Amino acid sequence: MKSVDRMSGSEEGSGTPDLDRNAAFWPEDDEEIEAGYMHLGSEDSGGKRGNGKSRQDCSDSSGSEGPSPSRKQSRPKRKGSNVSANGGSGRRRKSGISARERNLRRLESNERERMRMHSLNDAFEQLREVIPHVKMERKLSKIETLTLAKNYIMALTNVICEMRGEEKPYTFLDVDCGSNSNNSSGEQGPEEDMVEPNNNSLFQENLEHRTLTETASIPLHDM
DNA sequence: TAGGCCATCTGGTCCT
DNA sequence: AGGACCAGATGGCCTA
């Protein structure tokens, strides 16, 4: 497939990718913000990665609902969502906060988010290391990692149940099952027999390596 | 070139 | 109030 490894480069190298650039972009005073707060990115100097993204429709969203670019509309509101959490005016101006301060807050927030994602990636990496899978050139993608982990857990559960003389709660389907679209996208009770091909290529891969998963008893014995 | 995967930014919402 | 969490958007990189 693809080399996910390449990401490691950007991951590490990211550091603080664009603090300076962003800082430079942000307007210096509230006046400018009044005019173009949601404007950022309009001419975002095209940084290399993501950051350079233009927040296209933000500009014209200056409308009443505040930061409501089209992309937000599809998102379901969470409980207790007050449509205008920002006060209803649409402008997210907090009284007494200067543009510079907002800028700073945003940059800090970005940094935290970056760190959060990095820790998430670390967790994925640790998960990859404990999931038995056939060696591959590339490393497992996130979705593959999660799917394999799930299958691995199911296989181990089967082993445990078998050792207890109980019935296996999970059944691993055969290759043909690829055709059955039984799965309701991840809705499965513990009772249901499953191994849903939610990721086709991976699923096939899983089937190829099913013996490996089903011999999950091997690592189990080691415990 | 299209599609997959990813990092990053961002604003809304929730939680402490 | 501030940080964490979440999900949408965007653009880069890579492979088929």
Q: Is strand C within 7 Å of residue A142 (CB)?
A: no
Give residue-wise pLDDT tens across range A153-168. Answer: 999 999 999 999 999 9
Rounded, the Å distance between the CA of A4 and C1' of C4 is 27
**What are the phi and psi torsion angles at A163 (to 5°)?**
-65, -30
Burial of A144 (0-12, 13-18, 19+ CB in 10 A): buried
Instruction: Name residue A135's amino acid.
Output: K
- Entry pTM: 0.57
Closest residue by C-alpha to C1' distance, nucleotide B6: A7
How far is the CA of A180 from the CAs of A45, A152, A173, in angstroms?
49, 21, 10
Nucleotides of C under 7 A from a protein CB: 3-16
Torsion of CA A143, A147, A152, A158, to 10 degrees: 170
Q: What is the pLDDT along chain A (223 residues), one digit of tens a residue?
A: 333 343 333 333 333 343 333 433 444 444 444 333 333 333 333 333 333 333 333 333 333 333 333 333 333 333 333 333 333 333 334 446 777 788 888 888 888 888 888 888 888 888 888 888 766 767 888 888 888 898 899 999 999 999 999 999 998 765 433 333 333 333 333 333 344 333 333 444 444 344 344 333 223 222 2
What percentage of residues in chain A have a pLDDT greater than 70? 32
Tokens at A112, concatenated:
């935290």
Nucleotides of B under 7 A from a protein CB: 3-14
The whole-number pLDDT of residue A157 equals 95
Rounded, the Å distance between the CA of A58 and C1' of C13 is 26
Tokens at A90, concatenated:
């649409």
Please give the full DSSP string across A175-220, using - where no structure is assigned. GGGGG-----TT---TTS-----SSHHHHHHHHHTHHHHHTTHHHH
Rounded, the Å distance between the CA of A76 and C1' of C6 is 11
Report CA A21 to chain centroid distance, whole Å: 25
Q: Strand C and chain A: which residues 93-112 have CB closer than 7 Å?
A: 105, 108-109, 112
The whole-number pLDDT of residue A174 equals 55
CB A160 within 8 A of CB A167: no
The whole-number pLDDT of residue A92 equals 38
The whole-number pLDDT of residue A206 equals 47
Report CA A221 to chain centroid distance, whole Å: 34
Rounded, the Å distance between the CA of A112 and C1' of B15 is 17
Which nucleotide lies nearest residue A46, CA to C1'?
C11
Instruction: Name residue A134's amino acid.
Output: V
**What are the phi and psi torsion angles at A129 (to 5°)?**
-70, -25
